[in-house]
Amino acid sequence: MDQVCLVLPILPGKTEDARAFQRELDTERKDDYDRSERRIGIPKEVWFIASLPTGDQLVAYIESPDFNGAIKMFVESQDEFDNWFKRRLAEVTGVDMNNLPPDMQLPELVSRYEA
pLDDT at 110: 87
61-100, pLDDT tens digit by residue? Answer: 999 999 989 999 999 999 999 999 999 999 999 999 988 7
Instruction: Give the pLDDT band of residue 27 (cuts 50, 70, 90).
Output: very high
pTM over 0.95: no
For residue 76, the tally of other CB atoms under 10 A from its CB is: 10
Between CA 53 and CA 110 the distance in angstroms is 23
Architecture per CATH, 2-93: 2-Layer Sandwich (3.30)
pLDDT at 88: 97
Between CA 69 and CA 72 the distance in angstroms is 5
Q: What's the one-letter identity of residue 71?
A: I
